[in-house]
Amino acid sequence: MRAVPSWAVAVAAAAPALLVAGWTVAGARQPAGYDPVRDTISELAGEGATDPWLMGGVLVLLGVAYVVTAAVLHAAGLASRFLLAVGGAATVALIAFPRPEVGGSPAHGVVATVAVLALSLWPAGSALRLPRAVRREVAAAPGGTPPWAFRRPVALTVTAVLLVLFGWFVVEVTGGSRTGLAERVAALAVALWPLAAILSARRAHRHRAAATSAAPGPGAGG
């Protein structure tokens, strides 16, 4: 299993920080009627927003962070990495289909749905089948288990939680008064999991490297 570079931790950690800073700063720039509990993040980057480039820029950086994480997180397996990259690309694509000031946008809805589904399902992808090289290394390692973030019960539970959070958002969209709050909670949960996964992979790699260096070499002990 390849080591995750240190800079990738910084990239993954920047994602949730950028997200919160983005909606806070952009929200403060909106007219007095904007309510972060009621109104969505998409409105901050939409056609009727004040300085939509603020939240739009954050969405670009957030999507790039997801794609970069997918590129280096080899322990997750191809299916998970593909879904995470698709979610990142769809997040970036949202700026090309901003939410209109009045009414809805089918294109924005489709791209947002792709982003939501990909970013919710990517943790479960690692529960399907790890890469062969990773499986061999895991089997030979002390304990014989994958990094905790990629163990089947953890991965499936995380995806279930993310889907529940986005389900809450959908319920609020259809008639609730806390649409913005639901979207922010779900988006922050999505942004935090890549960081947890990277830290899990780095911890497992360090433990296996330490175990390998401590193991006696061929012919040791006479």
For the segment 26-58, what is each residue's pLDDT rounded down to a tens digit?
A: 999 999 889 999 999 999 999 889 999 999 999
User: Is residue 130 over pLDDT 70?
Assistant: no
Q: Alpha-carbon distance 65 to 63, whole Å?
A: 5
The residue type at 179: T
Q: Which residue, chain included where needed, has tokens 């649409």? A: 179
pLDDT band at 138 (very low <50, low <70, confident <90, very high): very low
Q: How many CA atoms lie within 13 A of 60 on its CB side?
A: 11
What is the pLDDT, as a whole number, of residue 101? 76
Taking the model in full, what pTM does it have?
0.85
Average pLDDT of the chain to the nearest whole number: 86
pLDDT band at 216 (very low <50, low <70, confident <90, very high): low
For the segment 90-111, what is each residue's pLDDT rounded down to a tens digit?
A: 999 999 998 887 777 889 889 9
